[in-house]
Chain A
Amino acid sequence: MSPEMFDENVYYRSNSRKVSLTIVFLVLAVLTAFFSIFLSKIGDLSFEATWEILKAHLSGTSVDNEIHDLVVWEYNVPRAIMGLFVGAGLAVGGAVMQALMRNPLADPYTTGVASGASLGAVMFFTMGISLLSLDNYTLATTTNALILSMIPTMAIVLISQHKHITPTTMILAGIAIMYVFRAATSLMMFVADPESVEEAYIWSVGTLGSASWDNIWFVAGSVTVISVLLLLVSNQVTIMTAGDRSASTMGVWAKPLRIICLLLIAIMTAIMVSFTGTIGFMGLVAPHIARVFVGSNMRYLIPCSAALGSLILIGADCLAKTISMTGMPVGVITSIIGGPIFIILLIKGAKKVWF
């Protein structure tokens, strides 16, 4: 017997360090979100004025300047909240998807959610088809997107009932379905008049601008509930990364768990995409950055990805607001700024953590 036993406190300490890091990111995210409320390009809306409006709303008194009130309370505040939740949701979806598929390139859109949503929206913009025959413009687009975004995932779930389906073939199936949906989208764009094309295109670009008190509840609710559910099975998902066979010998039945998680992620992503359009790259990158800090144990990776995702998306949105109030969509910022940062991270050898 060797004299030294493993000191379990080392393990506990490393875990507490992961938790505290996550809390730090979370606090930073909330602070940034708060800061983003004050970023408005309305000329005479000063810092103090914004503060007054916030205070007034929190204490229940009325506000004098209605336009300012509208900008701060009806626009900036929901937008900040939306950013927090969408960032978290995409990052959690990405982290779990990567583990489920055992593939570092997977993201929440891997099962074709975004392509389905685009098709739904384009269907309404170019041909005026509303699947639930709604007249309300926003509602029709959103419901169309929501319904169609679930179809690719459903197809993959059906396909994966087949015996030989591995995670890789599921990804390939996702790509195939995505191509069909994109082709259908393009076909509609092809025959549509330019104005509808423009509308549809702008809809598909990821932005937080459409956030309002009416719709953030769906996003916040679904992200919270589904992230918690995923966190509850995080240990099982971690074991699944050891391979389906090994997982089954350790008491985790991989196939049904994978399908359940896929569906949960699809629902969450579908709701987010329907309200914000496709915000790319977040779901892929945030988990990888989180891995650098907390490793690949899903129990710590899920919360840390969520916090980092919120932080990154809100940060990008602050930047988008600074560059231009309405023109610059946040999805573009995450891609243009996030891309180089990700490449630097990869080259710097942080890759050791995930390969």
Chain B
Amino acid sequence: MSGGEDIEVQYTHHVQRRLIFIAFCTLGVILVAGFSLTINGRGIGFLECYEYIINHILGTEYPFRSDAWFDDYVLWNTYVPRIVMGILVGCGLAVCGVAMQSLMNNPLADPYTVGISDGACFGAVAAIVTGFSLSSVMGSMGVVTNAFVGGLIPAMIIVLLSSIVRLSPATTILIGVAMSYIFSGLETTIMMTADADTLKEAYLWQIGTLNGMTWERCYIPMILTIVGSAFLMYSSKNLNLLSLGDSSAKSLGLNVDQFRTLCMLIVAFLVASLVSFVGVIGFVGLVAPHLVRMLLGGDNKFVMPASMMLGSLFVLFADLLSRVLIYPGELRVGLIISMIGAPIFLYMIVRKKKGYGEVF
């Protein structure tokens, strides 16, 4: 058995390469976060930012209303939540993208495939235009709750349907598409009744932004992202099985229908929570997994963490750009992501080598 060690060594290298990639992305996230924090209007430097954050976490107290106290206060309450939300959005969307692509056995699937974004937009637009809110909370939290509930509706309908009839992944996708159309139709109906200012507000809500994040807004997405991605990572082996097709996965001991429903519910809650707080950020969930698969191959065990890190890096970088480009104003991060993500993606598609066949 002379070949055995070779294979073992090769496999170790193979794993190492993936770990190095993940490490690099993580490092990137930390660096970009630092740069992003330096745009704080108080002139706090790059390294100082890290210092303040570490000190804050360690519980350092500053003299009340001293310079350091103000620096810490502004940084921690205005800029850090933004970074945290950026990381959550990147991680959450990317991990859901990986999960949906495996669940649906379709490279074109993304976190919004079952209509979550259109449901959420409908909810939000309803709140903005008609002032109707499910939570009886007016103002921005009313929009958030509406969007959250709206985002869950399409997914819930699909889950409900799948408990009545057996839905193949292809059928599920088609139903998701139909769902998107229904909700965007409803949304348009409401939009048509709005006056110009409200219409613009509602239109812009749909483009994701990290502006104005606070810690209070981070908690729910944070909990859901951590729990959801932990579960999805834990299930990465089962997701690998699904790519073999339903019957093979079943014969390998996976309760396919139940697993798919469970994953879909988790994706729905996770994505709905993100969308309801930041609006629709496209592309990350579709592209980050593809880029990772092109570079690292298709094993979900690595694709998931790597996509999460790449996704975060992507969102933070785009957010940084959105603030730098027209400083002191800012663009919306959703715009920047499409603007830079799409060309990168196109380039990858065109120059892809053979061997990426595992996805296509």
Given A187-B335, A335-B184, A328 and B189 contact (CB-CB distance below 8 Å): yes
**Residue A221, interface by CB 8 Å:** no
Segment of B76-84, B173-181, B255-263 engaged in the interface with chain A: B173-181
B-side interface residues, number (CB < 8 Å): 54
Select A351's contact among B108, B171, B188, B343, beta carbons within 8 Å: B171
Given A327-B192, A340-B182, A355 and B346 contact (CB-CB distance below 8 Å): no
CB–CB A176/B346 < 8 A? yes
Inter-chain contacts of A162 with B (CB < 8 A): 350
**Residue A243, interface by CB 8 Å:** no
- The 0/1 profile, CB within 8 Å of A marked 1, for residues 341-353 of chain B is 1110110011011
CB–CB B282/A164 < 8 A? no
Segment of B9-17, B89-97, B197-205, B217-225 engaged in the interface with chain A: B197-205
CB–CB B185/A331 < 8 A? yes
Given A175-B286, A205-B188, A186 and B196 contact (CB-CB distance below 8 Å): no
CB–CB A189/B200 < 8 A? yes
CB–CB A187/B331 < 8 A? yes
Inter-chain contacts of B175 with A (CB < 8 A): 343, 346-347
CB–CB A335/B354 < 8 A? no
Select A336's contact among B186, B335, B360, beta carbons within 8 Å: B186
Which residues of B in the span 152-194 have a Cβ within 8 Å of any Cβ on A?
161, 165, 167-168, 170-171, 173-175, 177-179, 181-182, 184-186, 188-189, 191-193
A291 and B343 alpha carbons, distance in the complex (Å): 36
CB–CB B342/A335 < 8 A? no
A330 and B192 alpha carbons, distance in the complex (Å): 13
Inter-chain contacts of A248 with B (CB < 8 A): none
Given A194-B196, A202-B192, A205-B192, A343 and B178 contact (CB-CB distance below 8 Å): yes
A328 and B190 alpha carbons, distance in the complex (Å): 10
CB closest chain-B residue, reference A348:
B165
Select A335's contact among B181, B196, B346, beta carbons within 8 Å: B181
**Residue A95, interface by CB 8 Å:** no
CB–CB A173/B346 < 8 A? yes
Main SS at interface, chain A: helix
A355 and B172 alpha carbons, distance in the complex (Å): 12
**Residue A177, interface by CB 8 Å:** yes
Residue from the set B207, B341, B350, B352 with the largest chain A CB neighbour count within 10 Å: B350
Inter-chain contacts of A295 with B (CB < 8 A): none
Given A190-B204, A339-B182, A343-B178, A201 and B199 contact (CB-CB distance below 8 Å): yes
Question: Min CB distance, A98 to chain B, in Å?
Answer: 12
Given A105-B174, A159-B349, A342-B174, A198 and B182 contact (CB-CB distance below 8 Å): no
Select B192's contact among A180, A285, A329, beta carbons within 8 Å: A329
CB–CB A186/B342 < 8 A? no
30 contacts between A and B (CB under 8 A): A105-B174, A164-B354, A165-B349, A168-B108, A169-B349, A172-B107, A172-B108, A173-B349, A176-B346, A176-B349, A180-B338, A180-B342, A183-B335, A186-B334, A187-B331, A192-B200, A194-B197, A195-B196, A285-B178, A331-B185, A332-B185, A334-B185, A335-B185, A336-B185, A338-B178, A338-B181, A339-B179, A340-B182, A342-B178, A351-B168
A residues neighboring B (CB under 8 Å):
104-105, 159, 162, 164-166, 168-169, 171-173, 175-177, 179-180, 182-184, 186-187, 189-190, 192, 194-195, 197-198, 201-202, 205, 280-281, 284-285, 327-329, 331-336, 338-340, 342-343, 346-347, 351, 355
